[in-house]
A and B are shown apart, each in its own frame.
Chain A
């Protein structure tokens, strides 16, 4: 699965960044490395950018970048998806991880 498929509120663990070169390197340098944990805070209107929390800080990436990051779900994504639908993209504390990425 990739981040682009994750609903708002979903937590994930990075498996790998699937592209190299400029984007892949930039994403890796900003903390998307194998084992790092993060969460999707929200997605933008009409497939606009994602707000992602990783290693204790937030960043914005487009869907095209989010589609290059392979992740495994933490917890139940479909529950997060339902919650997101009910809340219309409202993200509430507690769904995300504490932001400490894990490399172990």
Chain B
């Protein structure tokens, strides 16, 4: 047996993996154990990468690793592979199997497989509060002696049972590596496992890495990953052939697939153990989840409800967000005025008032909107609505070449593309995953919101909210059409299975929601102080230098605003803008918009801050909210059509650098390059068509 690695005398380190079924509460427990605040959500597949954190008690450092959820050690999707490979390749000192107590049979099915790995296991009977409420009485003494492991009741969301869990970890680690535990699979199976196990054990180095009995069972299950690991064995090829023969014999004998026979044996064993230790002491009574689902998942209502929920999220965002947005706009207008009158004329005043306040200030007022949108999306997720959304949309999405499980990443995409792209890891087929990732940019992320809201307020004053929702809807329709095109061309593929757990509704935890919102706010404030501040100063600099000296005739004939315009045109920004203008002219953008669009590649909000600087009429008469909107509306070059084209362009151009880096990490350079060029050309062509056709139809005039 392997020694407990990492464990040293005095100041010892114990590496503990938190593993278990999806949505069993692993991350909640991890947060309670380590004081971290990682994302928790009532959806199977929230955590898609491993997270680490420590807890100190006495002399011991417990290094916890939170893993993505798995149903079995046979892994299919990327997140499952992450969990399996960690357990096999990095062999933690101990596994805490986080079990959903309301659903013990399926959860313990996995526990058996952990025990076969020869790593000490402690069971956390999590969600014990829910089990109690449902009248599920668990005799944990009986259960732990039946299964031969320590069991501790926990409530991940409240952090109860944490000390007991640490005690159990200490005790289990203190005992050292356990004797290999495995169930008896029945005579026929055992007679084939046995010889395989013996052959595997002949290579000592190999069998110290992979427990022989566990691997023998895995081979009989025809697990591809097990076969590929076999290549490290000195007699790998021979064993592989032996294993294939064994599976074939069993399949003939039982008349079913070998991998299914093994699962049935495990379930039979677990079912027996659960029957002896778990009692239902209450008649199943009225269930909120069932009552709500009778409406929300009603076959005729599910899709209308889904659309209503999306509509409600945005409606609420705009109506709630309008208040803080107004306050912040007034505040920045006042701040600009205060600085302008307090400071002497000069470069310092200029960079502060015309650069930073005009730029950052124009974006800042949108932060509350973005935060509220995030809040609502995370409440939906915590409630458990996202799996209902998958139920409602699977059929339709499937027709467009997407998958029911694409809905979760796509809805996260309304917040931020980065976690959305990561969340696509839960899709089992590579094809579905690629298509989902490629269409996520069409789900307008929070950073695009300021651009939409600004332009809608300026040019669609009769129904700005409707205009913004319209552009969101256009994004969704585009994503479906694009997915359909991919399905018909470069990404054909067979239909892939859809098998997904449906968790009950749960009340969002206040601390979880607040923390998530605070984190989002903090990261936006940071973005304001870094990327957007830097971009504002840069744009200010290129619009201010080189300074232009108006001729005597110009000074005599032109007023202040026209002079400012003239000097901007002769600045570096003017030169750059005019140089690239030809590319954008066909879609209606002048040099100013061209500059704004180019700077927007860094982050979409920068389009707004750049417009804020380019259109900062310093001695603006209006003051207060909507200054930039008013300036845009007053400019004769602008029209509702142009505003719409700019919204469309913002929707379709490639996502921000962080999102592109994530696409590269998930899919590689080739797909990133494809996506970049694809979005650029689709966006430009679409804008071209809309601008030219709209112009021809005379759609420039009002709404």
- B-binding residues in A (CB < 8 A): 16-17, 19-31, 33-34, 36, 42-49, 51, 55-62, 64-65, 88-91, 93, 98, 100-104
What string of 1s and 0s marks CB contacts (under 8 Å) between B287-303 and chain A? 10010011001111011
- Chain B 497-516 residues near chain A, CB threshold 8 A: 497-502
Residues of A close to B294: CB separation below 8 A: 90-91
Closest chain-A Cβ to B657's Cβ sits at a distance in Å of 36
Residue on B with the closest CB to A30?
B71
Chain A residues with CB under 8 Å of B221's CB are: 25
Inter-chain contact B501/A59, CB cutoff 8 Å: yes
Are A29 and B71 in contact, CB atoms less than 8 angstroms apart?
yes
Q: Chain B residues in contact with chain A, CB under 8 A? A: 71-72, 74, 76, 102-106, 109, 221-222, 256-260, 263-264, 267-268, 271-272, 280, 284, 286-287, 290, 293-294, 297-300, 302-303, 387, 390-392, 394-395, 398, 404, 428, 495, 497-502
- Known contacts A48-B394, A60-B387: does B264 contact A34 (CB below 8 Å)? yes
Q: Residues of B contacting A36 with CB < 8 Å?
A: 267
Contact B300 A45 (CB under 8 A): yes
Which residue of B394, B495, B497 contacts A26 across the interface (Cβ within 8 Å)? B497
Q: Least Cβ distance of B254 to chain A in Å?
A: 10
Cβ contacts under 8 Å, B258 to chain A = 20
Q: Which of B259, B287, B394 has a CB less than 8 Å from the CB of A44?
A: B394
| Cross-chain contact B257 with A20 (CB below 8 angstroms) | yes
The 8 Å CB contact of A51, one of B105, B391, B499, is B391
Provide the bound-state CA to CA distance between A34 and B254, in Å. Answer: 12
Q: Which of A19, A34, A49 has the most CB of B within 10 A?
A: A49
Contact partner, B302, options A26, A27, A45, A56, Cβ 8 Å = A45
B299 pairs with A48, CB closer than 8 A:
yes
CB distance from A76 to the nearest CB of B (A): 21
Return the contact of B71 from the options A17, A21, A26, A64 (Cβ within 8 A).
Answer: A26
Q: How far is the CA of A28 from the CA of B221 in the complex (A)?
A: 12
Q: Could you list 5 A-B pairs, sorted by A, with CB under 8 Å?
A: A17-B260, A25-B72, A44-B392, A48-B394, A49-B404
Once bound together, how far apart are the Cα atoms of A59 and B44, in whole Å? 11
Q: A23-B499, A60-B499, A101-B105 are in contact. Are A45 and B74 (CB under 8 A)?
A: no
Shortest C-beta distance, B213 to chain A (Å), equals 19
Which of B264, B286, B499 gathers most chain A CB within 10 Å? B499
The answer to whether A60 and B271 touch (CB under 8 A), given A31-B105, A44-B302, is: no
Do B395 and A55 have beta carbons less than 8 Å apart?
A: no
Tell me which residues across on chain A come within 8 A of B391, comparing CB atoms.
44, 48-49, 51, 60
CB B186 to nearest CB in A, in angstroms, measures 13
Q: A56-B102, A90-B298 are in contact. Are A46 and B267 (CB under 8 A)?
A: no
